[in-house]
A and B are shown apart, each in its own frame.
Chain A
Amino acid sequence: MKLNARWTSYPYIVWMILFTVIPLFLIGYFAFTDASGDFTIANMEQAVKYIPALVKSVSLAAIATVLCLVLAYPFAFSMSRLSFERQKMMSMLIMLPMWMNFLLRTYAWQAILEDNGVINMLLNSVGLSSVKLINTSGAVVLGMVYNYIPFMILPLYSVMTKIDKSVLEAANDLGAGFFATLYRVILPLSMPGIVSGTTMVFVPAVSTFVISGMLGGVNNYLIGDLIETQFLGNSYDLNCGSATSLLLMIVVLITMAIFNHFSDEDAEEALV
Chain B
Amino acid sequence: MDQNKKVFELKKIAKSFDGEQILKGIDLDIHEKEFVTLLGPSGCGKTTTLRIIGGFVTPDSGDVLFLGKRINDIPPYKRKVNTVFQKYALFPHLDVFENVAFGLRLVKTPEKEIVQRVREMLALVNLSGFESRRVDLLSGGQQQRVAIARALVNRPNVLLLDEPLGALDLKLRKEMQIELKRIQQSLGITFVYVTHDQEEALTMSDTVVVMNEGRIQQIGTPQDIYNEPANAFTASFIGESNIISGIMHRDRLVEFAGRNYECVDGGFAKDEPVDIVVRPEDVEIAPATSEFLCGTVKDVIFKGVHYEMHVACNDFMWRVQSTDFTPVGAEVGLRITPEDIHIMHRTTYGGEKG
Contact = CB atoms under 8 A, between A and B. Distances in A.
A74 B71 CA distance: 30
A113 B299 CA distance: 89
A271 B89 contact: no
Contacts of B151: 173-174
B87 interface: yes
B115 to A, nearest CB: 13
Interface in B123-152: 150-151
A177 B77 contact: yes
Given A169-B56, A271-B95, A175 B89 contact: no
A270 interface: yes
B83 A173 contact: yes
A175 B92 contact: no
A176 interface: yes
Contacts of B89: 164, 166-167, 169-170
Given A169-B56, A172-B75, A173-B54, A180 B91 contact: no
Contacts of A164: 87, 89
Interface residues on A, range: 20 to 34
Given A173-B77, A173-B83, A271-B98, A189 B107 contact: no
A184 interface: yes
B112 to A, nearest CB: 15
Contacts of B106: 174-176, 180, 184
Interface string A140-180: 00000000000000000000000010110111111111001
A232 B211 CA distance: 78
Interface in A218-272: 267, 270-272
Given A169-B85, A174-B103, A189 B77 contact: no
B49 interface: no
A173 B87 contact: no
B273 interface: no
Contacts of B154: 174-175
B102 interface: yes
A184 B104 CA distance: 13
A166 B93 CA distance: 14
Given A164-B89, A167-B92, A185-B91, A174 B75 contact: no
A188 interface: yes
Contact of A188 (B85, B93, B150): B93
A270 B101 CA distance: 13
Contacts of A185: 91, 93
Contacts of A189: 92-93
A244 B56 CA distance: 58
Interface in B49-68: 54, 56
B7 interface: no
B76 interface: yes
A184 B102 contact: yes
A172 B77 contact: yes
A171 B105 CA distance: 12
Most central of B87, B106, B107 by chain A CB within 10 Å: B106
Contact of A175 (B86, B95, B103): B103
B94 interface: yes
Contacts of B94: 271
Contacts of A271: 93-95, 98
B102 A174 contact: yes
Contacts of A166: 85-87, 89
Interface string B290-319: 000000000000000000000000000000
Contacts of B81: 173
Nearest to B103: A174
Nearest to A170: B89
Nearest to B76: A172
A176 B87 contact: no
A132 B106 CA distance: 49
B82 interface: yes
B150 A174 contact: yes
A212 B329 CA distance: 95
Contacts of B56: 169, 172-173
Nearest to A188: B93
A42 to B, nearest CB: 51
B97 to A, nearest CB: 10
A36 B89 CA distance: 67
Given A169-B56, A184-B102, A174 B82 contact: yes
Contacts of B92: 167, 189
B77 A170 contact: no
B231 to A, nearest CB: 34
A173 B150 CA distance: 11
Nearest to A174: B103
A249 B147 CA distance: 48
Contacts of A173: 54, 56, 76-77, 81-83, 85, 151
B93 A170 contact: no
Contacts of B107: 175
A270 B102 contact: no
13 contacts: A166-B85, A167-B91, A169-B76, A170-B85, A170-B91, A171-B102, A172-B76, A172-B77, A174-B77, A174-B154, A177-B75, A184-B105, A185-B93
* The 5 residue pairs across chains A and B that have the minimum distance between CB atoms: A166-B89, A174-B103, A170-B89, A172-B76, A175-B106
Given A166-B86, A173-B82, 19 more contacts: A164-B87, A166-B89, A167-B91, A169-B83, A170-B90, A171-B102, A172-B76, A173-B151, A174-B103, A174-B106, A176-B102, A176-B106, A184-B105, A185-B93, A188-B93, A189-B92, A189-B93, A271-B95, A272-B98
